[in-house]
Amino acid sequence: MTGHRQLLDAISGWDACSSSDFDSARLEELKSRRKRRAGTGGMKSALERTIETEIIPRLLLAHRSPMSAHGAEMEPLASLRDEDVDEFTHLVLEHELAVASAYIDVVRARGISAERVIMELLAPSARKLGQLWEDDLRDFLDVTIGLSRIQHLLHAVSPAFQSEIDKGAAKHSVLLAASPGEQHTLGLMIVEEFFRRSGWDCAGNVDAGLEEVVNIVAAQSFDVIGFSTSCEVLLGGTASAIEAVRKSSRNRKVIVMVGGPLFRADPDLVSRIGADACADDGSHALNKLNCLLAPNLSSLR
């Protein structure tokens, strides 16, 4: 059987006659720039149904492992691999949202939890898109559209993710914000999903400016304030933001946590910019904060 990427490439004309309502303007710009051929509505409808209900599921299942001779159900996936991330990244770049969504549906049907889809597929794919941009292998428009599709898929997976564990009885509060000038916010949205699932009161506003963040922490007490910073040039702004929220915070003992690849590479940056801790991802942030908050929660209010 032809490999699933080859077949998807062969029917890429479907892209030009499909549409996505979450970033239609940018998609139309991309389609116009690449001059993909348009198709009729009837062709789109029939081809879309075929791809979503027959071609993709069959090809993905064949890619994983063959059916038994008696047609028994296939074994659950043990893990997601680098090849899966590469394939998924290809799909969000080259095909419409429905194709990547169908890929996730098949992965979920093979026993992969929503948490693992987020952490082992969506997040790594977003990082790969950023790397493709940094390496000049994809332009800004390509990466923006790919990230928009991943963000849309994150929202689609969120209800299943939120229902996978029971929320704890204890409620803490956190405000999550991007550092001034930060453009990469998908990772912060993923961290927010973890906090909400664990029962935290989460005021996530990744698009808020520093003045708005300062006003929020002055009006409402938070146990934790989290900033995301992706590149060194933004560190000065992050340090200024941390200083500003500490001065304005209703909770004078608020914990400030930062995240981003910079802090993994150089943990000393955390104290240098005035933060209390850093974390690699949502799960790591929760584990660290549970340790920090447990003995002192009563005094943090």
pLDDT at 278 > cutoff 90: yes
Q: What element of type H or E holds 85?
A: helix 82-94
User: Would you give the DSSP letter of residue 203?
Assistant: E
Q: What is the dihedral of CA 89, 180, 158, 133, to 10 degrees?
A: 0
Confidence of residue 60 (pLDDT cuts 50, 70, 90): low
Predicted TM-score (pTM) above 0.85 = no
pLDDT tens string 180-198: 988 888 888 999 999 988 8
Confidence of residue 55 (pLDDT cuts 50, 70, 90): low
CATH number of the domain at 173-300, out of 3.40.50.720, 1.10.3720.10, 3.40.50.280, 3.30.530.20? 3.40.50.280
Question: 10 Å Cβ neighbour count for 36?
Answer: 15
Confidence of residue 29 (pLDDT cuts 50, 70, 90): low
pLDDT: which is higher, 142 or 13 = 142
User: Rounded CA gap, 57 and 54, in Å?
Assistant: 6
pLDDT tens string 6-15: 444 434 443 4
| Domain spans, the chain | 4-66+78-162, 173-300
